[in-house]
Amino acid sequence: MIICRCEEVLLSDIITSVKNGAATLKAIKMETRAGMGICQGRTCRVLLEQAIAPYTDITIQEINNVLYKNPVRPISLANLSRSGKDPSL
């Protein structure tokens, strides 16, 4: 079952991460990248919370206290590809 579509993280990946010692949501995110894709957890957050709670001592209420960081501002790929280049070239 896919939990995070952006990073293609499966439920089995999250369970493996917990079994390997990831005891916090941050550790699970760092190991699996769940919630760190382009949506920044907006689409998978609820699934991630529900997936983690049965396998850890973290309750869903505690998970809800973790802040998700949104990008400062959206940037187009065209602008990103021009970054650092001299516009006169």
Mean pLDDT of the chain: 78
Q: Which residues share a beta bridge with 57?
A: none
- The residue among 41, 30, 40, 33 whose CA lies nearest residue 72 is 40
CB atoms within 10 A of CB 28: 25
What are the domain boundaries of the chain?
A: 2-82
Q: How big is the CA angle at 75 (ends 71 and 80), to the nearest 5 degrees?
A: 120
- Residue 8 CA to residue 20 CA, distance in Å, equals 19
**CB 52, CB 63: distance < 8 Å:** yes
Top-confidence residue, 51 or 16: 16
Nearest-angstrom CA–CA distance, 76 and 89: 21
Q: What is the pLDDT of residues 5-25, one digit of tens each?
A: 999 999 999 999 988 988 777
Residue 79 has pLDDT above 60, yes or no: yes
What pLDDT, in 10s, does the model give residues 62-71?
665 555 555 5
Collapse the DSSP code of 4 into the 3-class scheme (helix H, G, I; strand E, B; otherwise coil) and give the result: strand
Q: Is the pTM of this model over 0.95?
A: no
CATH number of the domain located at residue range(s) 2-82 in this protein? 1.10.10
